[in-house]
Amino acid sequence: MVRITTDEAPAAIGPYSQAWLAGTTLYISGQIPVDPVTGEIPEGIAAQTAQSCKNIGAILREAQGSYANVVKTTCFLADMADFAAFNNVYETYFTSKPARSCVAVKALPKGVLCEIEAIAVIEKEKERFSVRIS
């Protein structure tokens, strides 16, 4: 197994990793819309969805993958009234239409409006990574 970490996505805000690659399966922890450079959270569901997707993209790139490698996402919305606006942005990133669940939650960390976690299949040799967990 290989822990995947990048400065291009926000650091974990709890006792978890950004992602783990187990074999060819990449498990990406839920990404909230925090800008990794400024630490700021954009306003509105469209901008927040885009930032969450960009954070996932950064982790995918670190694992030498892309959005096309994503096979499943789980999306959390603080308000299902944002569902259509969320989808409008989401579909511009996940054009391969991975399997997905989208659920409403009472609240999300830092008061954000959305969070997205993803599972991807990365079919490359994991020896390319410098950090290994035995």
- Say if 24 falls within a structural domain: yes
- How far from 45 is each of 9, 17, 38, 48, 82, CA to CA, in Å? 19, 25, 19, 5, 7
- Say if 134 falls within a structural domain: no
Structural domain boundaries, residue 119: 2-128
What CATH number has the domain bearing residue 114?
3.30.1330.40
- Say if 133 falls within a structural domain: no
pLDDT band at 123 (very low <50, low <70, confident <90, very high): confident
Question: What are the tens digits of pLDDT across the range 88-117?
Answer: 999 999 999 999 999 999 999 999 999 999
**Active-site annotation holds for 114:** no
Mean pLDDT score, 77-87? 99
Q: Which of 21, 30, 1 is nearest to 105 (CA)?
A: 30
- Say if 14 falls within a structural domain: yes
Residue 58 CB coordination number (10 Å): 17
Domains identified in the chain, total number: 1
Question: What are the tens digits of pLDDT across the range 20-54?
Answer: 999 999 999 999 999 999 999 999 999 999 999 99
CA–CA gap between residue 47 and residue 28 (Å, rounded): 20
- Catalytically annotated residue among 53, 75, 102, 114: 102
